[in-house]
């Protein structure tokens, strides 16, 4: 496969759900639009008027998720709303599909399918000035990996799409007037796909990972994600990310309580503890809702010459993964328990094998001072986990700070738990 292909298309606002429903013939019909004839699903056709009618869904943040059938998939496994894009990924009988809606006008649809897709067409393109370009496979040739990448647009704006594909990674550069977007779409969308947005040469969105799970959405959810991420921008570092390895973690690694295995860190920040575990021979996956933090974490990993799988995700909505031998959490649970204790415990239960360990560091309600992290009563902590976990150790400590000599950090709980086997 050669280097680059440039496509010039006409683009304006269109609707994501309609695009997706029409892209796979026979998977799901387009939603009905008043005054428009139904588009036969079996034909694989798309009606440009339907796409324009659905654009309103993405003009504002929505609390509800788009129906999976409208996305042409059986199950929605990743989703994020952002001021610059909407991302959706789903799975179904036809394979895996990820869609990036680049506001206000352009859709990139990336399908991985075990078989070639049937042909399809765009209906009413002249009236809506709509176009659909196939960037992969090139020149109608079947891609050996059964991968299909399209750019769909309507309206009158000019745009350019440049594709370079190598070793299963597709790099797209899209130009829409002064705005430019770079998408790096890995063959496995759960392995490091990224997006970056700039305008007139100035970065609007620094290169960051696309999500691996269902992110908080709607105006409230997007605002919360922005607050978490902004804490890491511009060279700032939040107080909870102390920049050195947790002594509670290093203690149980160095004394042999934990043996190297599959490890998961929840709320990893800039990755100091995840990188440490990887350096000790663990196979590490680390989860964080702040993409900027993970950009810094990857820099740490490269400098330490270790590999960590970084995931942008909400810990209560992680996708399916093989169970882990060890889970570490320094300060994630004490936030999540304020609104979804059950969801947090369910995630940890599901992702830890029987006999596996969980080291949990959380704010302590015995702290008399104001401010600091959320605080958890001892009874609540025990009650949340007692149904499926044994407490190996539960003791009071102080959270560490950026000053290694400081002994006055907030009071915290250090809990080492062991996962019980399910009852027969």
- The phi and psi torsions of 288 (rounded to 5 degrees) equal -155, 145
14 and 93 inside one domain: yes
201 and 268 inside one domain: no
Of 230, 256, 273, which residue sits at a domain end? 230
The tens digit of pLDDT for each residue in 250-277 reads: 999 999 999 999 999 999 999 999 999 9
Q: Name the H helices within 231-361.
A: 247-254, 272-279, 291-304, 333-351
Return the minimum-mean-pLDDT range out of 101-110, 136-145, 218-227.
136-145
Rounded to a whole number of angstroms, the CA Rg of the chain reads 24
* Cβ contact 336:387 at 8 Å: no
Residue at token pair 């042909």: 119
- The phi and psi torsions of 232 (rounded to 5 degrees) equal -105, 0
The tens digit of pLDDT for each residue in 317-369 reads: 998 899 999 999 999 999 999 999 999 999 999 999 999 999 999 999 998 88
pLDDT at 142: 56
When pLDDT is averaged across residues 73-100 and rounded to a whole number, the result is: 88
Strand-pair category, 324-330 with 262-266: parallel
Model confidence, pTM: 0.85
Write the CATH number for 295: 3.40.50.150
Of 174, 202, 230, which residue sits at a domain end? 230
176 and 251 inside one domain: no
Looking at the predicted structure, is the pLDDT value of residue 283 above 50? yes
| The pair of three-digit structure tokens given for residue 252, joined into one six-digit string | 């149980």
| The pair of three-digit structure tokens given for residue 137, joined into one six-digit string | 């496979």
- Look at residue 194 and tell me if it is in a domain: yes
313 and 255 inside one domain: yes
pLDDT at 198: 97
- The residue ranking higher by pLDDT, 132 or 335, is 335
Burial of 418 (0-12, 13-18, 19+ CB in 10 A): middle
For the chain, give the percent of residues with pLDDT over 90: 55
- The phi and psi torsions of 408 (rounded to 5 degrees) equal -115, 25
pLDDT at 213: 93
Give the chain's largest Cα–Cα span.
Answer: 72
- Look at residue 240 and tell me if it is in a domain: no
- Look at residue 388 and tell me if it is in a domain: yes
Other CB atoms within 10 A of residue 220 CB: 11
73 and 199 inside one domain: yes
pLDDT at 117: 57
Q: How far is residue 212's CA from residue 208's CA, in Å, rounded to a whole number?
A: 12
117 and 202 inside one domain: yes
- Look at residue 235 and tell me if it is in a domain: no
42 and 175 inside one domain: yes
In angstroms, how far is the first alpha carbon of the chain from the final one?
54
- The residue ranking higher by pLDDT, 129 or 401, is 401
The tally of domains found in the chain comes to: 2
CA-angle at 43, arms to 41 and 46, nearest 5°: 70
325 and 271 inside one domain: yes
Of 230, 263, 291, which residue sits at a domain end? 230
Helix (H) or strand (E) holding 85: strand 85-92
Return the minimum-mean-pLDDT range out of 48-57, 95-104, 309-318, 379-388.
48-57
Q: How far is residue 111's CA from residue 171's CA, in Å, rounded to a whole number?
A: 15
- Look at residue 50 and tell me if it is in a domain: yes
- Look at residue 216 and tell me if it is in a domain: yes
Domain range holding 334?
247-419
- The residue ranking higher by pLDDT, 166 or 306, is 306
Q: How far is residue 358's CA from residue 361's CA, in Å, rounded to a whole number?
A: 10
């Amino acid at each position: 496969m050669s280097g680059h292909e440039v496509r010039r298309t006409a683009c304006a606002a269109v609707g994501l759900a309609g695009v997706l429903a029409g892209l796979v013939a026979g998977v799901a019909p387009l939603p009905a639009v008043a005054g428009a004839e139904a588009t036969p699903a079996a034909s694989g056709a798309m009606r440009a008027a339907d796409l324009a009618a659905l654009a309103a869904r993405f003009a504002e943040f929505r609390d509800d998720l788009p129906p999976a059938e409208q996305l042409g998939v059986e199950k929605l496994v990743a989703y994020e709303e952002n001021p610059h894009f909407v991302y959706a990924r789903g799975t179904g009988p036809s394979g895996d599909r990820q869609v990036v809606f680049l506001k206000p006008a352009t859709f990139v649809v990336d399908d991985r399918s075990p078989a070639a897709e049937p042909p399809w067409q765009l209906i009413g393109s002249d009236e809506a000035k709509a176009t659909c370009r196939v960037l992969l496979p090139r020149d109608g040739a079947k891609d050996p990996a059964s991968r299909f990448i399209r750019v769909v647009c309507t309206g009158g704006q000019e745009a350019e799409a440049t594709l370079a594909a190598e070793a299963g990674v597709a790099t797209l550069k899209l130009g829409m007037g002064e705005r430019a977007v770079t998408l790096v779409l890995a063959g496995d969308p759960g392995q490091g796909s990224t997006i970056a947005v700039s305008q007139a040469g100035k970065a609007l969105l620094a290169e960051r990972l696309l999500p691996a799970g269902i992110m908080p959405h709607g105006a409230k959810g997007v605002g919360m994600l922005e607050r978490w991420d902004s804490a890491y921008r511009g060279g700032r570092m939040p107080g909870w990310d102390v920049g050195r390895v947790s002594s509670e973690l290093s203690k149980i690694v160095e004394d042999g309580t934990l043996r190297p295995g599959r490890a998961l860190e929840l709320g990893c920040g800039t990755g100091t503890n995840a990188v440490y575990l990887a350096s000790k021979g663990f196979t590490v996956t680390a989860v964080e809702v702040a993409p900027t933090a993970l950009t810094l974490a990857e820099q740490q990993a490269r400098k330490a010459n270790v590999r960590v799988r970084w995931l942008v995700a909400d810990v209560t909505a992680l996708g399916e993964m093989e169970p882990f031998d060890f889970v570490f959490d320094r300060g994630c649970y004490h936030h999540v328990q304020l609104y979804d204790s059950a969801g947090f415990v369910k995630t940890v239960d599901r992702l830890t094998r029987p006999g596996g360990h969980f080291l949990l560091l959380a704010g302590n309600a015995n702290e008399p001072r104001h401010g600091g992290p959320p605080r958890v009563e001892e009874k609540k902590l025990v009650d949340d986990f007692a149904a499926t976990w044994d407490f190996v150790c539960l003791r009071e400590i102080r959270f560490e700070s950026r000053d290694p000599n400081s002994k006055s950090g907030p009071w915290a709980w250090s809990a080492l738990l062991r996962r019980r086997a399910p009852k027969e």
